[in-house]
Amino acid sequence: MRRVLLDCSVLRGREEVHRALAAALDLPEWYGGNLDALYDCLTDLSGETELRLRRFGELEKTLGIYARSLRRVLADAAGENPRLRVFYED
């Protein structure tokens, strides 16, 4: 199982979030750096993956509704792909 920890407190913008997710999850070259592309990539993951997001509340303070949309995309992708598990740590 691949375990990924992402510290959200250091992320300051949408682009930074997507770059960090792409690097941490080793997303494919075609990843478009948006929520639709993220969903597509996460539902296509073939290996067991555990994504832990630390201090997500700070990202919500910084990005507001976009962070809430990100949380929804992550939940939807995990619901679609049984090999993906998402956890939030504060």
List pLDDT tens digits, range 50-74. 999 999 999 999 999 999 999 999 9
* Position 55, amino acid: R
Give the pLDDT confidence score for residue 23 in this predicted structure: 97
90 — pLDDT class (breaks 50, 70, 90): confident
Residue with token string 């509340």:
57
pLDDT at 71: 98
Name the residue type at position 7: D
- Give the global pTM: 0.95
For the chain, list the domains and their CATH numbers.
Answer: 2-89 (3.30.370.10)
Q: State the Cα–Cα distance between residues 60 and 2, nearest whole angstrom.
A: 25
Of all helices (H) and strands (E), which one includes residue 21?
A: helix 14-25
pLDDT in tens, 20-36: 999 999 999 999 999 99
Please give the radius of gyration of the chain, using alpha carbons only, rounded to the nearest integer.
Answer: 12
